[in-house]
């Protein structure tokens, strides 16, 4: 048996690089090699040709984008590794999808011919977030139509939160350190924090001295160390996220996460949750006042440490758990 892993990056045979897809490729590649044997697991670059394939015993593990490029590939030999928040508004991927709550009409990701490409796959591991997973498990209306659709297409589905290399990101963490400013992530339509930024401006907070807005965060070690010295928290009001994995990474390195209710539960601190519900705008303003008051930095530090510890002691958000799930899917598909 040979397992071919293919993700949308050129090389996974090196740990260098900390983008989401690089880490996904590298960690699954090395984890499965350790479990199944080095000669049994091969990495194939995004547009690389898969070697001669034994359809009776070999497997392809890939994400959605690679699957889209492999229409000729036997679906009964594919294990899918992908991201999803199972939003029912994204069920019909053949049309443009939108986030439509609270009167909004915001374009979010779409994938053409979704159902056709998934039909017949024996197993899939979806990386998601605690909010979406809870909705899936309780048959919430936000996810139930998508859940039913996926279950009709894929024989076995496993779900977990995005795995994170806790040791790598934790190297910059100091429990007693707390920065002075707020970092706001804003990048285009879906990854959008415009309303939050608008509130900060209207409430009189100063850009550059009290908060900074960025469309990209440099993940070099030098910059990550700088973030911890300057910032106490990171805001991301994205409408639709499966994770997002990078926010959990920043939590492990020492930044308090303020995130949208669609993917962030607050973990006991509701003042870290953002909603687009106009009826709760006063509540959102009060949350911002709490965050931006320098007198609250010690309380914010304690809150950050508590939420971080809750994530740190979990075992369902690390890479070993992810590899275990992939092995389970292979074994189930063999039966």
Task: Examine the domain organization and report whether 172 and 129 are in the same domain.
Answer: no
- For residue range 109-129, list pLDDT tens digits in order: 665 556 777 888 999 999 999
Query: Same structural domain for residues 22 and 113?
Result: yes
The model scores a pTM over 0.85: yes
Residues 263 and 294 in one domain: yes
The answer on 155 and 292 residing in a single domain is no
Q: Please give the Cα distance from 211 to 180 (Å, whole number).
A: 9
Confidence band for 67, pLDDT divided at 50, 70 and 90: confident
Tally of domains within the chain: 2
Give pLDDT tens digits for 43-58.
Answer: 887 777 788 888 899 9
User: Token digits for 261?
Assistant: 């209710």
- Domain harbouring 10, CATH code: 3.40.50
For residues 164-183, give the mean pLDDT: 95
Average pLDDT over every residue of 135-141: 96
Do 46 and 190 fall into the same domain?
A: no
Paired tokens of 142 = 């936000």
pLDDT value for 199: 97
Residue 280's domain spans which residues? 167-312
Question: What would the mean pLDDT of 283-289 be, rounded to a whole number?
Answer: 98
pLDDT band at 302 (very low <50, low <70, confident <90, very high): very high
Average of per-residue pLDDT across 290-316: 97
For CA atoms 128, 131, 133, 135, the dihedral sign is negative
pLDDT tens-digit map of 290-299: 999 999 999 9
CATH number of the domain at 198, please: 3.40.50.2000
Measured distance CA(124)–CA(118) in Å, rounded? 10
**Are 117 and 239 in the same domain?**
no
């Amino acid at each position: 048996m040979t397992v071919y892993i293919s993700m949308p990056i050129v090389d996974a045979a090196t740990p260098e690089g900390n983008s989401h897809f690089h880490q996904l490729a590298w960690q699954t590649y090395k984890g499965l090699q350790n479990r199944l044997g080095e000669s049994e697991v091969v990495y194939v670059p995004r547009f690389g040709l898969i070697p001669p394939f034994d359809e009776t015993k070999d497997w392809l593990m890939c994400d959605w984008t690679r699957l889209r490029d492999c229409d000729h590939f036997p679906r009964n030999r594919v294990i899918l590794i992908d991201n999803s928040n199972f939003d029912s508004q994204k069920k019909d991927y053949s049309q443009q999808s939108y986030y439509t709550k609270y009167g909004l009409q915001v374009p979010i990701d779409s994938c053409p011919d979704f159902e056709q490409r998934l039909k017949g796959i024996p197993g899939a591991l979806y990386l998601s977030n605690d909010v979406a997973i809870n909705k899936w498990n309780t048959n919430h209306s936000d996810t139930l139509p998508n859940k039913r659709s996926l279950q009709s297409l894929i024989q076995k589905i496993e779900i977990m939160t995005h795995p994170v290399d806790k040791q790598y990101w934790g190297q910059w963490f100091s429990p007693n350190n707390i920065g002075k400013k707020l970092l706001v992530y804003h990048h285009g339509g879906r990854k959008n924090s415009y309303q939050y930024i608008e509130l900060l401006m209207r409430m009189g907070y100063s850009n550059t001295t009290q908060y900074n807005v960025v469309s990209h965060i440099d993940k070099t070690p030098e910059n990550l160390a700088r973030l911890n010295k300057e910032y106490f928290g990171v805001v991301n009001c994205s409408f639709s996220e499966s994770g997002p994995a990078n926010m959990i990474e920043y939590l492990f390195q020492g930044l308090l996460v303020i995130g949208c209710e669609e993917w962030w539960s607050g973990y006991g601190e509701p003042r870290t949750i953002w909603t687009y519900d106009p009826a709760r705008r006063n509540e959102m303003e009060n949350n911002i006042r709490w965050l931006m008051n320098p007198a609250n930095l010690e309380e914010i530090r304690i809150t950050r440490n508590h939420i971080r510890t809750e994530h740190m002691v979990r075992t369902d958000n690390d890479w070993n758990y992810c590899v275990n799930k992939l092995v389970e899917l292979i074994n189930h598909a063999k039966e």
